[in-house]
Amino acid sequence: MEAVVVKNLTKTYGKEKTVAVDDVSFSVNKGELFGLIGPDGAGKSSIFRMLTTLLLPDGGSASVDGHDIVRDFRQIRSSVGYMPGKFSLYQDLTIEENLHFFATVFGTTIEENYHLIQDIYVQIEPFKNRRAGKLSGGMKQKLALCCALIHKPTTLFLDEPTTGVDPVSRKEFWEMLKRLKEQHITILVSTPYMDEASLCDRIALIQGGKILSIDTPQNIVNAYPDRLLAVRAHEMYRLLKALESYPAILSSYAFGEYAHATLADTDTEALQAYLRGQGLTGVEVKDADVTIEDSFIKLLH
Protein backbone atom coordinates (compact mmCIF):
# COMPACT_ATOMS: atom_id res chain seq x y z
CA MET A 1 0.00 0.00 0.00
CA GLU A 2 1.42 3.39 -0.99
CA ALA A 3 1.41 6.27 1.50
CA VAL A 4 2.97 8.89 -0.79
CA VAL A 5 2.73 9.01 -4.57
CA VAL A 6 4.62 11.71 -6.50
CA LYS A 7 4.16 12.06 -10.26
CA ASN A 8 6.21 14.40 -12.45
CA LEU A 9 6.34 17.04 -9.71
CA THR A 10 7.92 20.32 -10.83
CA LYS A 11 8.70 23.58 -9.02
CA THR A 12 10.32 26.72 -10.39
CA TYR A 13 11.14 29.92 -8.53
CA GLY A 14 11.24 33.59 -9.50
CA LYS A 15 11.17 35.46 -12.80
CA GLU A 16 14.16 33.45 -14.03
CA LYS A 17 12.10 30.28 -13.49
CA THR A 18 14.94 28.54 -11.66
CA VAL A 19 14.03 24.87 -11.74
CA ALA A 20 14.25 23.58 -8.15
CA VAL A 21 12.30 20.34 -8.67
CA ASP A 22 12.45 18.86 -12.14
CA ASP A 23 9.87 16.24 -13.14
CA VAL A 24 10.29 14.16 -9.97
CA SER A 25 8.36 10.88 -9.52
CA PHE A 26 8.55 8.35 -6.70
CA SER A 27 6.33 6.55 -4.25
CA VAL A 28 6.71 5.56 -0.62
CA ASN A 29 5.05 2.51 0.92
CA LYS A 30 3.11 2.69 4.16
CA GLY A 31 5.41 2.18 7.13
CA GLU A 32 8.53 2.71 5.05
CA LEU A 33 11.53 4.82 6.12
CA PHE A 34 12.37 6.64 2.89
CA GLY A 35 15.35 8.98 2.46
CA LEU A 36 15.85 11.87 0.06
CA ILE A 37 19.62 12.12 -0.13
CA GLY A 38 21.36 15.04 -1.80
CA PRO A 39 23.52 18.11 -1.26
CA ASP A 40 22.32 21.64 -0.37
CA GLY A 41 20.11 23.08 -3.08
CA ALA A 42 19.20 19.68 -4.56
CA GLY A 43 15.48 20.40 -4.11
CA LYS A 44 14.73 18.31 -1.01
CA SER A 45 13.01 21.07 1.00
CA SER A 46 10.92 22.14 -2.01
CA ILE A 47 9.63 18.57 -2.42
CA PHE A 48 8.79 18.30 1.30
CA ARG A 49 7.08 21.71 1.30
CA MET A 50 4.90 20.69 -1.64
CA LEU A 51 4.00 17.35 -0.04
CA THR A 52 3.04 19.08 3.21
CA THR A 53 0.90 21.59 1.22
CA LEU A 54 3.00 24.64 2.16
CA LEU A 55 4.04 25.25 -1.45
CA LEU A 56 2.08 24.82 -4.67
CA PRO A 57 3.66 22.79 -7.47
CA ASP A 58 4.00 24.24 -10.98
CA GLY A 59 3.44 20.88 -12.59
CA GLY A 60 2.73 17.26 -11.84
CA SER A 61 0.74 15.86 -8.95
CA ALA A 62 1.16 14.09 -5.64
CA SER A 63 -0.90 12.48 -2.95
CA VAL A 64 -0.37 11.64 0.71
CA ASP A 65 -2.57 8.85 2.11
CA GLY A 66 -4.68 9.12 -1.03
CA HIS A 67 -5.26 12.88 -0.54
CA ASP A 68 -4.27 15.22 -3.35
CA ILE A 69 -1.73 17.83 -2.19
CA VAL A 70 -3.63 20.72 -3.84
CA ARG A 71 -7.30 19.75 -3.61
CA ASP A 72 -7.24 18.00 -0.23
CA PHE A 73 -4.75 20.22 1.59
CA ARG A 74 -6.89 20.36 4.75
CA GLN A 75 -6.93 16.60 5.25
CA ILE A 76 -3.19 16.42 4.62
CA ARG A 77 -2.44 19.18 7.12
CA SER A 78 -4.26 17.35 9.87
CA SER A 79 -2.75 13.95 9.13
CA VAL A 80 0.95 14.62 8.51
CA GLY A 81 3.75 15.70 10.82
CA TYR A 82 6.42 18.06 9.49
CA MET A 83 9.76 18.98 10.98
CA PRO A 84 11.18 21.79 8.82
CA GLY A 85 14.90 22.21 8.20
CA LYS A 86 15.15 25.40 10.19
CA PHE A 87 14.14 25.35 13.85
CA SER A 88 10.53 26.45 13.77
CA LEU A 89 9.35 26.27 17.34
CA TYR A 90 8.53 29.20 19.58
CA GLN A 91 11.83 30.28 21.09
CA ASP A 92 10.16 32.14 23.96
CA LEU A 93 7.95 29.24 25.01
CA THR A 94 9.30 26.48 27.23
CA ILE A 95 9.62 22.87 26.09
CA GLU A 96 6.34 21.99 27.77
CA GLU A 97 4.52 25.06 26.42
CA ASN A 98 5.63 24.33 22.86
CA LEU A 99 4.41 20.77 23.08
CA HIS A 100 1.13 21.82 24.68
CA PHE A 101 0.65 24.44 21.95
CA PHE A 102 1.11 21.93 19.12
CA ALA A 103 -1.20 19.40 20.78
CA THR A 104 -3.92 22.04 21.22
CA VAL A 105 -3.67 23.30 17.63
CA PHE A 106 -4.35 19.77 16.44
CA GLY A 107 -7.22 19.25 18.89
CA THR A 108 -5.44 16.70 21.03
CA THR A 109 -3.63 16.53 24.36
CA ILE A 110 -0.11 15.52 25.37
CA GLU A 111 -1.60 12.69 27.45
CA GLU A 112 -3.59 11.21 24.55
CA ASN A 113 -0.54 10.45 22.40
CA TYR A 114 2.16 10.43 25.05
CA HIS A 115 3.08 6.83 24.16
CA LEU A 116 4.32 8.06 20.75
CA ILE A 117 6.75 10.61 22.14
CA GLN A 118 7.60 9.05 25.50
CA ASP A 119 10.96 7.63 24.42
CA ILE A 120 12.09 10.99 23.12
CA TYR A 121 10.34 13.26 25.60
CA VAL A 122 11.84 11.64 28.70
CA GLN A 123 15.25 12.82 27.46
CA ILE A 124 14.22 16.48 27.47
CA GLU A 125 11.64 16.38 30.25
CA PRO A 126 14.14 17.36 32.98
CA PHE A 127 14.41 20.71 31.15
CA LYS A 128 10.70 21.13 30.42
CA ASN A 129 10.62 24.62 31.93
CA ARG A 130 13.54 25.85 29.82
CA ARG A 131 12.76 28.15 26.89
CA ALA A 132 13.21 26.49 23.49
CA GLY A 133 15.62 29.25 22.41
CA LYS A 134 18.01 28.22 25.19
CA LEU A 135 18.27 24.53 24.21
CA SER A 136 21.22 22.77 22.57
CA GLY A 137 20.93 21.64 18.93
CA GLY A 138 20.24 18.04 19.87
CA MET A 139 17.56 19.01 22.40
CA LYS A 140 15.86 21.38 19.95
CA GLN A 141 15.74 18.56 17.45
CA LYS A 142 14.13 16.20 19.97
CA LEU A 143 11.54 18.81 20.92
CA ALA A 144 10.75 19.52 17.25
CA LEU A 145 10.26 15.80 16.66
CA CYS A 146 7.91 15.54 19.68
CA CYS A 147 5.89 18.51 18.37
CA ALA A 148 5.67 16.92 14.90
CA LEU A 149 4.44 13.65 16.45
CA ILE A 150 2.02 14.82 19.14
CA HIS A 151 -1.08 14.63 16.88
CA LYS A 152 -0.27 11.05 15.85
CA PRO A 153 0.49 11.67 12.18
CA THR A 154 0.23 8.86 9.63
CA THR A 155 3.20 10.26 7.72
CA LEU A 156 6.17 12.16 9.08
CA PHE A 157 8.29 14.54 6.97
CA LEU A 158 11.68 15.33 8.49
CA ASP A 159 13.66 17.89 6.54
CA GLU A 160 17.37 17.59 7.30
CA PRO A 161 16.73 16.72 10.96
CA THR A 162 20.39 16.01 11.69
CA THR A 163 22.05 18.98 9.99
CA GLY A 164 24.19 20.83 12.52
CA VAL A 165 23.68 18.16 15.17
CA ASP A 166 26.64 16.47 16.89
CA PRO A 167 27.53 12.87 15.87
CA VAL A 168 26.22 11.28 19.10
CA SER A 169 22.84 13.04 18.81
CA ARG A 170 22.70 12.11 15.12
CA LYS A 171 23.10 8.42 16.00
CA GLU A 172 20.49 8.68 18.76
CA PHE A 173 18.12 10.39 16.36
CA TRP A 174 18.29 7.53 13.85
CA GLU A 175 17.68 5.05 16.64
CA MET A 176 14.55 7.03 17.54
CA LEU A 177 13.39 6.84 13.92
CA LYS A 178 13.80 3.07 13.93
CA ARG A 179 11.57 2.85 17.00
CA LEU A 180 8.98 5.15 15.39
CA LYS A 181 8.88 2.86 12.39
CA GLU A 182 7.72 0.10 14.71
CA GLN A 183 4.65 2.28 15.42
CA HIS A 184 3.78 1.98 11.68
CA ILE A 185 4.38 5.64 10.91
CA THR A 186 5.58 6.31 7.36
CA ILE A 187 8.73 8.43 7.55
CA LEU A 188 10.27 10.57 4.80
CA VAL A 189 13.58 12.07 5.82
CA SER A 190 15.98 14.27 3.88
CA THR A 191 19.69 14.51 4.55
CA PRO A 192 22.89 15.70 2.91
CA TYR A 193 24.85 13.06 4.89
CA MET A 194 25.54 10.06 2.67
CA ASP A 195 26.37 7.85 5.66
CA GLU A 196 22.76 8.20 6.85
CA ALA A 197 21.45 6.73 3.59
CA SER A 198 22.21 3.17 4.68
CA LEU A 199 19.83 3.61 7.64
CA CYS A 200 16.81 4.01 5.32
CA ASP A 201 14.69 1.22 3.80
CA ARG A 202 14.90 2.91 0.40
CA ILE A 203 16.50 6.11 -0.81
CA ALA A 204 16.24 8.54 -3.69
CA LEU A 205 19.52 10.20 -4.65
CA ILE A 206 18.75 13.74 -5.78
CA GLN A 207 20.80 16.50 -7.39
CA GLY A 208 19.82 19.65 -9.28
CA GLY A 209 16.11 18.91 -8.77
CA LYS A 210 16.37 15.53 -10.48
CA ILE A 211 16.30 12.04 -9.04
CA LEU A 212 19.40 10.10 -10.08
CA SER A 213 18.42 6.74 -8.62
CA ILE A 214 15.80 5.16 -6.32
CA ASP A 215 16.32 1.81 -4.63
CA THR A 216 17.42 0.17 -1.40
CA PRO A 217 20.86 1.42 -0.28
CA GLN A 218 22.25 -2.08 -0.81
CA ASN A 219 20.92 -2.35 -4.38
CA ILE A 220 22.32 1.08 -5.24
CA VAL A 221 25.74 0.05 -3.96
CA ASN A 222 25.49 -3.35 -5.70
CA ALA A 223 24.69 -1.63 -9.01
CA TYR A 224 28.06 0.17 -8.99
CA PRO A 225 29.40 -0.80 -12.42
CA ASP A 226 33.18 -0.58 -11.97
CA ARG A 227 35.92 -2.10 -9.87
CA LEU A 228 36.59 0.54 -7.22
CA LEU A 229 40.13 0.92 -5.91
CA ALA A 230 41.38 2.55 -2.72
CA VAL A 231 44.78 4.09 -3.28
CA ARG A 232 47.08 5.56 -0.67
CA ALA A 233 50.50 7.25 -0.65
CA HIS A 234 52.37 9.45 1.76
CA GLU A 235 51.44 12.65 -0.04
CA MET A 236 47.73 12.83 -0.87
CA TYR A 237 47.84 15.94 -3.06
CA ARG A 238 50.63 14.56 -5.27
CA LEU A 239 48.82 11.20 -5.39
CA LEU A 240 45.62 12.84 -6.70
CA LYS A 241 47.63 14.75 -9.33
CA ALA A 242 49.42 11.57 -10.43
CA LEU A 243 46.13 9.61 -10.61
CA GLU A 244 44.57 12.33 -12.77
CA SER A 245 47.33 11.99 -15.34
CA TYR A 246 47.38 8.15 -15.37
CA PRO A 247 46.39 7.06 -18.91
CA ALA A 248 43.86 4.38 -17.85
CA ILE A 249 42.15 6.50 -15.17
CA LEU A 250 38.35 6.84 -15.37
CA SER A 251 37.74 8.67 -12.10
CA SER A 252 39.64 9.59 -8.95
CA TYR A 253 38.82 11.63 -5.86
CA ALA A 254 39.89 11.95 -2.24
CA PHE A 255 38.00 9.67 0.14
CA GLY A 256 39.16 9.96 3.73
CA GLU A 257 42.80 8.89 4.01
CA TYR A 258 42.59 7.13 0.61
CA ALA A 259 41.85 8.19 -2.94
CA HIS A 260 39.08 6.23 -4.65
CA ALA A 261 39.73 5.44 -8.30
CA THR A 262 38.30 3.48 -11.21
CA LEU A 263 40.36 2.33 -14.17
CA ALA A 264 39.69 1.42 -17.79
CA ASP A 265 41.76 -1.74 -17.22
CA THR A 266 42.35 -4.16 -14.34
CA ASP A 267 46.12 -3.84 -14.13
CA THR A 268 46.69 -2.59 -10.57
CA GLU A 269 50.37 -3.64 -10.75
CA ALA A 270 50.90 -1.20 -13.62
CA LEU A 271 49.16 1.53 -11.62
CA GLN A 272 51.43 0.94 -8.61
CA ALA A 273 54.53 0.97 -10.82
CA TYR A 274 53.35 4.21 -12.43
CA LEU A 275 52.75 5.91 -9.08
CA ARG A 276 56.17 4.85 -7.77
CA GLY A 277 57.67 6.09 -11.03
CA GLN A 278 56.11 9.48 -10.26
CA GLY A 279 58.20 9.59 -7.08
CA LEU A 280 55.41 8.67 -4.68
CA THR A 281 56.26 6.67 -1.56
CA GLY A 282 54.14 4.47 0.70
CA VAL A 283 51.99 3.46 -2.28
CA GLU A 284 49.15 1.04 -1.50
CA VAL A 285 46.43 -0.10 -3.94
CA LYS A 286 43.55 -2.32 -2.84
CA ASP A 287 39.90 -3.02 -3.64
CA ALA A 288 37.53 -0.60 -1.92
CA ASP A 289 34.07 -1.24 -0.48
CA VAL A 290 31.63 0.85 -2.51
CA THR A 291 29.62 3.37 -0.45
CA ILE A 292 26.52 5.39 -1.32
CA GLU A 293 28.82 8.38 -1.76
CA ASP A 294 30.77 6.54 -4.47
CA SER A 295 27.50 5.61 -6.20
CA PHE A 296 26.35 9.24 -5.99
CA ILE A 297 29.60 10.51 -7.52
CA LYS A 298 29.34 7.91 -10.29
CA LEU A 299 25.72 8.87 -11.06
CA LEU A 300 26.67 12.55 -11.24
CA HIS A 301 29.05 11.83 -14.10
Ligand X SMILES: Nc1ncnc2c1ncn2[C@@H]1O[C@H](COP(=O)(O)OP(=O)(O)OP(=O)(O)O)[C@@H](O)[C@H]1O
Contact set with ligand X (CB under 6 A): 13-14, 18, 20, 38, 40-46, 85, 160
Nearest residue (CB) to ligand X, 43 versus 153? 43
Nearest residue (CB) to ligand X, 42 versus 120? 42
CA terminus-to-terminus distance, the chain: 34
Nearest residue (CB) to ligand X, 31 versus 85? 85
CA atoms of 208 and 214, how far apart (whole Å): 15
Nearest residue (CB) to ligand X, 44 versus 170? 44
Sign, Cα dihedral of 68, 72, 74, 75: negative
Specify whether the CB–CB gap between 30 and 45 falls below 8 A. no
CA atoms of 265 and 262, how far apart (whole Å): 9
As measured in angstroms, the least distance from the Cβ of 192 to ligand X is 7
Nearest residue (CB) to ligand X, 20 versus 290? 20
Nearest residue (CB) to ligand X, 106 versus 157? 157
As measured in angstroms, the least distance from the Cβ of 141 to ligand X is 15
Long-range contacts of 17-24 (CB under 8 A, 24+ apart): 19/209, 20/46, 20/209, 21/46, 21/47, 21/50, 21/57, 21/209, 22/208, 22/209, 22/210, 23/59, 23/60, 23/210, 24/60, 24/206, 24/209, 24/210, 24/211
CA atoms of 172 and 84, how far apart (whole Å): 19
As measured in angstroms, the least distance from the Cβ of 41 to ligand X is 4
Specify whether the CB–CB gap between 133 and 87 falls below 8 A. no
As measured in angstroms, the least distance from the Cβ of 48 to ligand X is 8
As measured in angstroms, the least distance from the Cβ of 265 to ligand X is 37
As measured in angstroms, the least distance from the Cβ of 103 to ligand X is 28
Specify whether the CB–CB gap between 209 and 39 falls below 8 A. no
The number of beta carbons lying within 10 Å of the beta carbon of residue 50 is 24
As measured in angstroms, the least distance from the Cβ of 19 to ligand X is 8
Nearest residue (CB) to ligand X, 42 versus 188? 42
